[in-house]
A and B are shown apart, each in its own frame.
Chain A
Amino acid sequence: MKRCFILLFFLLAYTQVVLAQGVVTTNPTTFTAKDKVVITVDVTGTPVDGVSPLYIWAFIPGGGGDAITNGGNFAASTPEAKMTQVGPNKWSYTVNSSVDFFAKPVAAITAFGFLVKNQDGTKQTSDFSLPVKPLEYSSKRVETFPSNFSESDVVTVKYNQALETVEYLKFEDAFATPQVLYTGNLFIYLEAKAKNAAGVETVYRTATNVNTVDVSNTTYKLKLKSPGVYTFRFIPRQLFSSLPTGLKADETITDITVNIRKEDAAQARRGQSGPVTLTPFKLN
């Protein structure tokens, strides 16, 4: 009986500690440094219980830096740090992206620390710390290095055969059993839309269409970089300017479409990746 009372006492004490700190929920429940997250805090039982309005004071734990909304003065929270009341003693704050919120790169945002306070900082909760999920890199079927590029940058198109969903392109014979990965030559068709200062758009193509790519010429042949990985490197402005009726000096490329196909013309009719659109950024 005595043990039961002791256990109950500690359980009650623990509950009081939790309530005194506040209860935090996030939507989504886990988030990366680039995700939008809504943080909701029930401040019942905390030193800011019943206080209004409330403000968020956020930081990267371990001295990683403060949120830009902090304003630098704990005794004078900024309007941008003001929270929204969503229920009795319940307050929420929306962060569109922790990267922008802390003005730090992803790698620096290892956790999201914050407390809730009144405007002049005379009342506050304890610190909270929310884990931030690392960003996961995932390859795409057709991707570029770098992921962002201008029309005058070196661009490497990378084709990951393992991620191909078009069986006519992925395999030697889509109907064979077992299926054998295609190891022959691949060629690329490229098409660019460009605009001049007057907004007039022109389309430039490396062939009439993907089926008429000149496979006797290695200019548009992809390199087999490693098993299942093919690459094609080009500088967009240079490539499209070199075409017979090519890109003009006063035109800017707005987007590029690529389509990857098998070398054999008959196989290429169905053995092609389909159009993939790439958008160059406008260089300062």
Chain B
Amino acid sequence: MNQKLFPFLGVLALLGAVSCQPEEDFAEIGEPFATAESTIGDFQLAQVVQVDNDAVNNNYPAEVQRMDLTADYPYNNVVFSFQANGSEPTNFVVTNPGNAPVFLSNGTWKFDDSKGSRKIIISQTNGRKDTLEYGQSYRAADNKLGLKLLRRSGNKTLVTYELNFVRK
């Protein structure tokens, strides 16, 4: 065999060896995160950020758009339980021993796919119905959940609470 071919064959072999390494554990592009699997379960609140939607819409300075409330209330004791019968949503339970402001109370929950991206509807025993949108997206393996609670008057969203959780 022509010796000039050896370096070329060596590079080919190296390429082959590199290509056999296991793929990193990343989600595929476009993997849905707003799924029953990623939502059902118990989640401990890790962060609450209040957003002034008018300040965001007016493009005001960042410091008047958002306020992190996490350290100011006992949020780390709050647990949201999205219970289910198999993959069918059933009860929504809030555990909040420190009475931190979470704006939602016990009831039932379901997905709403009627308009645009998926949302969660919470029908509470106090008669209120509130909508949670999915916020920050996570991979299933992250065991985290990002939700947004919109506070609306008429057809305007005026305040948003970004709720970030860690699965219990």
Contacts and interface: CB of A to CB of B under 8 A. Distances in A.
Contacts of B58: 34, 106-107, 135, 137
A64 to B, nearest CB: 14
A105 interface: yes
B4 to A, nearest CB: 55
A150 interface: yes
Interface string A268-284: 00000000000001111
A134 B57 CA distance: 12
Interface stretch (B17-25, B38-46, B61-69): B61-69
Interface stretch (A5-13, A140-148, A176-184, A257-265): A140-148
B153 A150 contact: yes
User: Which range holds the interface residue count of chain B?
Assistant: 20 to 34
Given A146-B158, A283-B152, A105 B57 contact: yes
- Highest count of chain B CB atoms <10 Å: which of A34, A134, A152, A281: A281
Contacts of B151: 150, 153, 283
A152 B158 contact: no
A165 to B, nearest CB: 22
Given A106-B58, A135-B59, A281 B50 contact: no
- Interface class of chain A by DSSP: loop
B159 A107 contact: no
Contacts of B158: 146, 148-150, 281
A152 B101 CA distance: 9
A1 to B, nearest CB: 56
B28 interface: no
B154 interface: yes
B55 A146 contact: yes
A284 B52 CA distance: 17
B60 interface: yes
Contacts of A154: 50, 69, 101
Given A146-B158, A147-B54, A149-B159, A284 B67 contact: no
A233 interface: yes
Interface string A86-118: 000000000000010000011100000000000
Contacts of B113: none
A134 B53 CA distance: 17
A146 B161 CA distance: 11
B103 interface: yes
A134 B58 CA distance: 8
Contacts of A146: 50-55, 67, 158-159
A152 B159 CA distance: 11
Contact of A145 (B52, B53, B56, B72): B52
A185 interface: no
Contact of B152 (A135, A137, A152, A284): A284
A235 interface: yes
A84 interface: no
A156 interface: yes
11 contacts: A99-B57, A107-B59, A134-B59, A135-B59, A145-B64, A146-B50, A146-B67, A147-B55, A148-B52, A149-B158, A284-B152
Closest 3 CB pairs of A and B: A146-B52, A107-B59, A137-B60
